[in-house]
Amino acid sequence: MSNIPLNQLEAWRAAQLLARREILAVDLARACLDRVSERDGELHAFVHIEPDTVLAQARALDAGPVRGPLHGLPLGVKDLFDTVDLPTAYGSPIYAVNRPAADAASVALCREAGALVLGKTVTTEFAYFHPGPTRNPHDLRHTPGGSSSGSAAAVADHMLPLALGTQTAGSIVRPAAYCGVVGYKPSAGLVPRAGVKSLSEALDTVGSFGRSVRDAALLGAVLTGDARLGALAALAAPRIGLCRTPDWSQADADTQQAFERASTVLAPLAAILQDAAWPIDLPDLVVLQKAVMSYEMSRALSHERVRHRELLSQPMRAMMDEGRAISGQVHASNLAITAAAQLSADAMFAQFDVLIAPSSTGEAPLGIAATGDPLFCRGWTLLGLPCVHLPFATGRHGLPVGLQLVGRRGDDYRLLAVAQWVHERLLG
């Protein structure tokens, strides 16, 4: 075993060592808790953590059989997920004393696979745009993104190897981009959402954060039930489409340079690397995603809107008013347009295994009063396509920059396998 501190081990490597009992879950947990103690006073990635309970649970894991592929791995759980043994506030004072009666299905699956829940990570208010206190671990003056802000920041700062997140617009890929970690948003419908605070039936997706593709895929294997994700195989050279999207003009110089660097590195190595044509019959996906999200969130949060409006942030109240102005008839039409767009988008994969696209407009913005723009994520989320953010560069201010790979819906294994192939070459 190397001399790398335990809390800096990538999840897949730590999982191997834990399974062979070459390291103990309690020692890994203690190393992660020490890092939390050292850094979270200024980073604010966690909203709730109980160190004594964590260590007791780790000792119990060490004393018993290896329980599964996540045995002994510390896991951060976004505070949008119900947890039976920890408070769950959904980022809102409305639920400050909420104690769920059961784990969210995804949390239960992770525990069944041996994961050790280290604590609840900060979410924005109901996973919308009103931020929590979390800061970017690379520069505390900058946002970590949202809404899965605490999960991305904690993984980036070596407080834990894995974390759960959700994406309704860009809440996995954008914070992964700003914090410089791998974020995996599965295909729509692959991961159960029971016990996760509902925002949008059409858009909500549960996913994972790790410091490598193998890490995010390992957690993804448990979440999706596809064990192949936990053992990605070597691939032949993939077919890659370059997809700048109709919003390319909004990408700043750092993102454009990352795109050109990726193209230069991959061109002699990929089986195909060429521009992907954007289907001319696709509607404005960004506008459509906003309409679907605002309508569904205004209804999913009806209790909070009716009974606790005064405890909602102004941006949340504005979103609800916007969503309530959309009729059910218009929403039904929007869903039909979305379904047609999903069929049209499939044509982009006729000659490509994956698409490379921007993850964000650029580096994490200065300030923590906002979480940045999910512009380059909204369309892929609306289409239900699986996405993986790959960090591999830095911008003009020394903050992380990367790109996302997008796969055909339901083809998550191929996406992650190609993502590993691409990431290894981009990191060179």
Residue 1 in this model has a pLDDT that exceeds 80: no
Distance from C-alpha of 170 to C-alpha of 153, rounded to nearest angstrom: 15
Tens digits of residue pLDDT in 312-339: 999 999 999 999 999 999 999 999 999 9
Angle at 11 between CA 8 and CA 13, to 5 degrees: 85
Distance from C-alpha of 102 to C-alpha of 104, rounded to nearest angstrom: 7
Tens digits of residue pLDDT in 73-98: 999 999 999 999 999 999 999 999 99
Distance from C-alpha of 228 to C-alpha of 220, rounded to nearest angstrom: 10
Tens digits of residue pLDDT in 177-197: 999 999 999 999 999 999 999
Arithmetic mean of pLDDT over the chain: 97
Give the pLDDT of residue 386: 98
Residue 216 phi/psi, 5-degree rounding, is -60, -35
Classified by CATH at the fold level, domain 1-428 comes out as: Amidase signature (AS) enzymes (3.90.1300)
What is the pLDDT averaged over residues 55-60?
Answer: 98
Distance, CA of 379 to chain centre = 16
Tens digits of residue pLDDT in 118-139: 999 999 999 999 999 999 999 9
Beta-carbon contacts of 108 under 8 Å, excluding residues fewer than 6 positions away, are: 102, 195
Instruction: Supply the residues annotated as catalytic.
Output: 78, 147, 171
Give the pLDDT of residue 157: 98
Place of tokens 């300030």: 367
Give the pLDDT of residue 214: 98
Query: Residue by residue, what is the 3-state secondary structure of the chain?
Result: CCCCCHHHCCHHHHHHHHHCCCCCHHHHHHHHHHHHHHHHHHHCCEEECCHHHHHHHHHHHHHCCCCCCCCCCEEEEECCECCCCCCCCCCCHHHCCCCCCCCCHHHHHHHHCCCEEEEEECCCHHHCCCCCCCCECCECCECCCCCCHHHHHHHHCCCCCEEEEEECCCCCHHHHHHHCCEEEECCCCCCCCCCECCCCCCCCEEEEEECCHHHHHHHHHHHHCCHHHHCCCCCCCCEEEECCCCCHHHCCHHHHHHHHHHHHHHCCCCCEEEECCCCCCCCCHHHHHHHHHHHHHHHHCHHHHHHCHHHCCHHHHHHHHHHHCCCHHHHHHHHHHHHHHHHHHHHHHCCCCEEEEECCCCCCCEECCCCCCCHHHHHHHHHCCCEEEEEEEECCCCCEEEEEEEECCCCHHHHHHHHHHHHHHHHC
Encoded tokens for 353: 């295994």
Encoded tokens for 225: 């039930």
Encoded tokens for 70: 């996540």
More confident residue, 389 or 235: 389
Distance from C-alpha of 275 to C-alpha of 239, rounded to nearest angstrom: 11
What is the pLDDT averaged over residues 43-57?
Answer: 98
Distance from C-alpha of 169 to C-alpha of 190, rounded to nearest angstrom: 17
Distance from C-alpha of 87 to C-alpha of 98, rounded to nearest angstrom: 6
- On whether the CB atoms of residues 354 and 405 are closer than 8 A, the answer is yes
- Confidence band of 3 (pLDDT split at 50, 70, 90): confident
Give the pLDDT of residue 2: 66
Crossing angle for the helix pair 105-112 and 213-224, to the nearest 10 degrees: 110
Give the pLDDT of residue 376: 98
Residue 55 in this model has a pLDDT that exceeds 60: yes
Query: Residue by residue, what is the 3-state secondary structure of 51-118?
Result: HHHHHHHHHHHHHCCCCCCCCCCEEEEECCECCCCCCCCCCCHHHCCCCCCCCCHHHHHHHHCCCEEE
Can you give the pTM of this predicted structure?
0.98
User: Within 13 Å of residue 318, how many CA atoms lie on the same side as its CB?
Assistant: 7
